[in-house]
Chain A
Amino acid sequence: MTFIWTTIGALLTLSIYSFLYKDNPFYKFAEHLVVGVSAGYYLVIYYFNFIHPNVFSPVFLLRLGDEPISFFGFHWWMALIPGVLGILLYTRFFPKVAWVGRYALAVYVGGYAGLGISPVMQARVIEQLRANALSVAGVEDPFATMTNVGLGVVIFAVVAYLLIVKRNLGARNWLGKVAVIVVSAVVGYAGYLVLTLISNAGVVSLTNILLVVGLLGTLTYFFFSMKHTGALGGLARVGIVFLMVGFGASFGYTVMSRISLLIGRVSFLLHDWLHLID
């Protein structure tokens, strides 16, 4: 029995992978199958997990054992409120009263909008500001001066590269390209020395400057009501640089977890189904 189910699972898995070659009947079958299964699944699960215990039971079965929390104390008719709100969504099929359903939705959305505002202020504005300030003030700096130096090399190389490419020095021929690389390396090495001196002197770490400039630049990029020219434009460009480095880095960072998923499926095929590996 288990083998039959495993085989079904394996065949469905292969059907999905066949999509990588091209769209084909196997994929179409698997795709339509999973849509049907999940529709049936959610229909049943939503009923049993939400409607039955919170609306149907209290109203019709008066099973007061697992009463929902309530400020007013529990009354069976209170369970009718969400039930009625739910039913209101269906008024859209009757044009005369359709507006009622629309506003039921507005109430729902309004409630959640209110719910969302304050935590967002707390977690995404104040906490982020505080975390940034903490790192800058050197209270919490997980990486000591060591990374400073390594990062310095990269930053300086990138700066050198940007400077040279922007000014079009030697972008035309191979000799010029070699020159760019050499100059970047030299500037990078100079940066390495300077940073070693600075961090040895214990003044302020480069990483902190990076955090401030990065946040400042990124926020400036998101200025909508001012023209991005002059100093503002320069900062916004710095912001774009940080955004790009950030996107590249998190892209690279995610590869591992995606490969893990594939390893999981491949070992399902080779181990659980075919018993090819142990």
Chain B
Amino acid sequence: MAKKRFDIRSVDRRIIFTLIFVAVAWPLIQPMRLPIDVSPPVQTLYDAIEEIPPGSIVMLGGDYSPDTMPELQPMVETFIRHAFENDLRVVVACLWPASPPLVERALTPLAEEYGKEYGTDFVNLGYMAGGIVTLLGMGASIPNTFPTDYGFGAADIPSRPVGEIPLMQEVENFDDIAFVMEVSAGTPGTREWIQQIQGRYRVNIGSGTTAVGAPNFYPYVSSGQLTGLLGGLKGAAEYETLVGFPGDATKGMDAQSIVHALVVVFILLGNVVYLISLRRNRGAEE
């Protein structure tokens, strides 16, 4: 045999480790904007919001908690951005106690960026206990169901009665709401909104859910009860792409795509090496 030469079979694991690390870190530093194909439910959601005339009021239902933030927060951010871009006014209402501060985290910087004013351009009504009962109450009267707002922490605006908030003077029930975006991690959430509100008040509802929960809601999209659906980080990334502001979801999906492809390449490479060595061994025997 020839002299000792580089043998790819014993490729150092450290090379694999380095490549993985780079593949994760690089897209975070430098978003690569790999092609993302927008799936129909996401396109539907985007189109529905695009069609709303400027100045209309949209509602954001935030029903999630910190453990599902990685998946759902990018959706909330992108929806608010999308609304502000199109000069829509946003009312936030939550059925989960943990949500209002999480939504607030997205609202604060975006309101600053777009120069939106609390109370006239957007309002955070905070959390109200009761689930379905609260939803039914909102169907009758939103200000009666949420008598005070959550306030706007970053601007030191304390909680106050909705009667004192200019935006809320224009909101009585779902006739005044052009679109509801429900970001939901469980119950009460998307299903309750569809059953209690969509069927009764004929308001368009779009939803964002975790990747695990999404398959349960695809039937509602095909039946038209849901106007669009974002499923997990992938759905969020597609939405970011459409709105034109690649954020955390896009970066994350970039990294995921690259690493997944890299692992597949490793596997293929490993097999090429394996097949070659098989052949060589067989040659040696003959």
User: Quick one: CB contact mask for B5-44 with A, threshold 8 Å, 1 for yes?
Assistant: 0000000001001001100110011000000000000000
Cβ contact within 8 Å between B256 and A276: no
Q: Is the interface of B mostly helix, strand, loop or mixed?
A: helix
Cβ contact within 8 Å between B25 and A266: yes
A276 and B29 in contact, given A256-B260, A263-B255 (Cβ under 8 angstroms): yes
A259 and B25 in contact, given A21-B14, A142-B215 (Cβ under 8 angstroms): no
Interface residues of B in 263-286 (CB under 8 A from A): 263
A259 and B29 in contact, given A20-B17, A142-B215, A266-B24 (Cβ under 8 angstroms): no
User: Quick one: CB contact mask for A252-273 with B, threshold 8 Å, 1 for yes?
Assistant: 0001100110111011001000
Could you tell me the distance in whole angstroms from the C-beta of B34 to the nearest C-beta in chain A? 15
A270 and B252 in contact, given A142-B215, A255-B263, A260-B70 (Cβ under 8 angstroms): no
Check B98 for interface membership: any CB of A closer than 8 A: no
Residue of B with least CB distance to A21: B14
Check B106 for interface membership: any CB of A closer than 8 A: no
Q: How far is the CA of A185 from the CA of B256 in the complex (A)?
A: 30
Check B259 for interface membership: any CB of A closer than 8 A: yes
Could you tell me the distance in whole angstroms from the C-beta of B283 to the nearest C-beta in chain A? 13
Residue of A with least CB distance to B232: A256
Band of interface residues on B: 10 to 19
| Selected contact of B28 from candidates A255, A260, A266, CB within 8 Å | A266
Cβ contact within 8 Å between A270 and B24: no
Cβ contact within 8 Å between A263 and B29: no
Q: How far is the CA of A266 from the CA of B21 in the complex (A)?
A: 9
On chain B, the residues within 8 Å of A276 by CB distance are 29
Check A37 for interface membership: any CB of B closer than 8 A: no
On chain A, the residues within 8 Å of B70 by CB distance are 260, 264
A270 and B28 in contact, given A20-B14, A255-B260, A260-B252 (Cβ under 8 angstroms): yes
Cβ contact within 8 Å between A263 and B215: no
Could you tell me the distance in whole angstroms from the C-beta of A244 to the nearest C-beta in chain B? 15
Q: How far is the CA of A266 from the CA of B259 in the complex (A)?
A: 14
Residue of A with least CB distance to B258: A259
Check A115 for interface membership: any CB of B closer than 8 A: no
On chain B, the residues within 8 Å of A256 by CB distance are 256, 260
Q: How far is the CA of A21 from the CA of B20 in the complex (A)?
A: 13
Check A277 for interface membership: any CB of B closer than 8 A: yes
Interface residues of A in 196-212 (CB under 8 A from B): none
A259 and B28 in contact, given A20-B14, A21-B14, A142-B215 (Cβ under 8 angstroms): no
Cβ contact within 8 Å between B259 and A255: yes
A263 and B24 in contact, given A20-B17, A276-B29 (Cβ under 8 angstroms): yes
| Selected contact of A259 from candidates B14, B17, B259, CB within 8 Å | B259
Q: How far is the CA of A262 from the CA of B255 in the complex (A)?
A: 10
Cβ contact within 8 Å between A270 and B29: yes
On chain A, the residues within 8 Å of B260 by CB distance are 255-256, 259
Q: How far is the CA of A277 from the CA of B251 in the complex (A)?
A: 11
Could you tell me the distance in whole angstroms from the C-beta of A141 to the nearest C-beta in chain B? 12
Interface residues of B in 230-267 (CB under 8 A from A): 252, 255-256, 259-260, 263
On chain B, the residues within 8 Å of A262 by CB distance are 20-21, 24
On chain A, the residues within 8 Å of B28 by CB distance are 263, 266-267, 270, 277
On chain B, the residues within 8 Å of A21 by CB distance are 14
On chain B, the residues within 8 Å of A260 by CB distance are 70, 252, 256
Cβ contact within 8 Å between B255 and A259: yes
Cβ contact within 8 Å between B25 and A270: yes
Could you tell me the distance in whole angstroms from the C-beta of B10 to the nearest C-beta in chain A? 16
Interface residues of A in 227-265 (CB under 8 A from B): 255-256, 259-260, 262-264
Q: How far is the CA of A265 from the CA of B252 in the complex (A)?
A: 13
Could you tell me the distance in whole angstroms from the C-beta of A211 to the nearest C-beta in chain B? 17
Could you tell me the distance in whole angstroms from the C-beta of B285 to the nearest C-beta in chain A? 14
Cβ contact within 8 Å between A263 and B252: yes
- Supply 26 A–B pairs (Cβ within 8 Å), ascending by A: A21-B14, A142-B215, A255-B260, A256-B256, A256-B260, A259-B24, A259-B256, A259-B260, A260-B70, A260-B252, A262-B20, A262-B21, A262-B24, A263-B24, A263-B28, A264-B70, A266-B21, A266-B24, A266-B25, A266-B28, A267-B28, A270-B25, A270-B28, A276-B29, A277-B28, A277-B29
Residues of B bordering A, CB below 8 Å: 14, 17, 20-21, 24-25, 28-29, 70, 215, 252, 255-256, 259-260, 263
Q: A142-B215, A266-B28 are in contact. List 6 more A-B contacts (CB 8 A).
A: A20-B14, A255-B260, A259-B259, A260-B256, A266-B24, A270-B29
